[in-house]
Structure 1
């Protein structure tokens, strides 16, 4: 039996590279983990819906092209990061990323949810 979703996926496959990007985003948006990828200039190149929902972030603000600093500022506005800690947090994370050091940390959100974050620098930056 073929579902409507199967038909949608088949149609996207037939549309070529542009459809592949859409299909990739569809897959990312259905992952259980939140994913946000930055380029070497610390701007978002990929973000999924789960990331936005876990952190209660606005898709109008946190989207492709948004800087990491602006994402942190949005997180401060939401109460997920204390305003007095954001500069030190930003500097420390960028230093570890620049050194190519993957690391894990925890963050308690305004909702009380404790998030485990895994940051992995990409080859060539980002």
Structure 2
């Protein structure tokens, strides 16, 4: 099995890893939840940005929140996930907006990894 190192964890090695989702809908909820998650010491945190409507509408706000989130969790790896409604998420984006969002996440390093559904037609 191939292993992937994300900050201080190796996925695909040893015991299964524990990821805890952060589904805050605004900056305060996201940061409060992040502190609770970090104190529980999971292997990584999944940041479900599809719940963060204001951040999806405002790239600068998304980037600023990501920086504060990193400060809140320290070295805890952050997996950034946007699920469309078809994938069980809470928001729907056009194909262009979805691709722009993914590009923003990658170019601005808003997390340590990004989760993209294999079935996403945008990346199919």
Smaller-chain TM-score bracket:
under 0.3
Q: What is the TM-score when the length of structure 1 is the normalising length?
A: 0.25
Q: What is the TM-score when the length of structure 2 is the normalising length?
A: 0.25
Structure with the greater alpha carbon radius of gyration? 1
